[in-house]
Amino acid sequence: MAKIDFGGVVEEVVTAEEFTLERARQVLADETVAVLGYGVQGPGQALNMRDNGIKVIVGQRQGSASWQKALEDGFEPGQSLFSIEEAARRATIVMNLLSDAGQVTTWPAIKAELEAGNALYFSHGFGVVFKDQTGIVPPADVDVILVAPKGSGTTVRRNFLDGSGINASYAIFQDATGKAYERTVALGIAIGSGYLFPTTFENEVYSDLTGERGVLMGALAGIMEAQYNLLRAHGHSPSEAFNETVEELTQSLIRLVSENGMDWMFANCSTTAQRGALDWAPKFRDAVAPVFEQLYQSVVSGKETARVLSANSAPDYREKLDAELAALGNSEMWKAGAAVRRLRPENRQKL
């Protein structure tokens, strides 16, 4: 492991240079990896492993849109594409990448197919940590491991194809075989991780649920909407409001943050912008700190888990979700966003 100083705190991480792809292939040479679920994380992880020479099969409900997607990606029925139960039966490593609600529904069938010495892999600690709600209690004779890419399944695949990779956390909940560590890290490298940092199942799910509801998605969407609405209420055009709220962030500033950090981004903006950002950042921090504390406690207590399982298990969940997403997409703000995107240089020729 490499020791890295993260702002004064030294952590040990595993890089692709020290745990090479060739070593990962050797560790997984005699394994059959079943990717259960071909929705969000499934395609990226399955395709990356397949491209890296790992024996991969997919388990998915036949006739579903995800089954069709697996067919289009070259997985063949009866050869590398099976029902969820059959894929679990054929595998030595079962990667459970179904939705959290889907994991609850299918767990009895998957558990019945696990054999001693198998590995049960997750990319989210949700099911295992909140076992009182999910009922997911793995057998004692299997490895229970986790690799959680820090990005969407689309990004996992896109970054792999462009050679950049993606960071991921890893954890070992149960080491029944003595091989759990090597299996875990090998899988992390095989799905395209540039480096892996250690965590626990508990810390992964607490940080992940907080992040999704906070800065990564929920807070970001809410803050954008608040600023856009404010500008519109004061007479600014949709184009101006969207460009000042979203377009400049996503097309310019966030890229500077990614390259060298927030201080570097500030240093590469006007002195007027610098002064305003430095003055107002603490005000926003202090204003939202109580909301984040409330959010974190809701996650740790299991309230967020209960809400997710209840909503996502409802028979009309998909219809309600589509309606919510349609309302978002049809709002003036995001219709303005669609128009702005069409005006980007690479898209103007299509007008």
Task: List phi, psi (to 5°) of 33.
Answer: -100, 120
- The runs of H, that is alpha helices, within the chain are 21-27, 42-51, 65-72, 84-90, 100-113, 126-129, 131-134, 153-162, 180-190, 201-213, 218-233, 238-242, 248, 254-260, 262-267, 271-301, 303-312, 317-329, 332-342, 345-348
Beta bridge partners, 96, equal 36, 122
Beta bridge partners, 10, equal 5
Which listed residue (124, 157, 213, 232) is catalytic?
Answer: 124
- Name the residue type at position 123: S
Residue 194 is encoded by which pair of tokens?
């540039």
Task: Please provide the DSSP assignment of 29-50 as one string.
Answer: TT--EEEE--SSSHHHHHHHHH
Task: List phi, psi (to 5°) of 344.
Answer: -65, 150
Task: Reply yes or no on whether 124 is catalytic.
Answer: yes
Is 58 strand, coil or helix? strand
Rg of the chain's alpha carbons, rounded to an integer?
22
- Name the residue type at position 252: S
Which residues are catalytically annotated?
A: 124
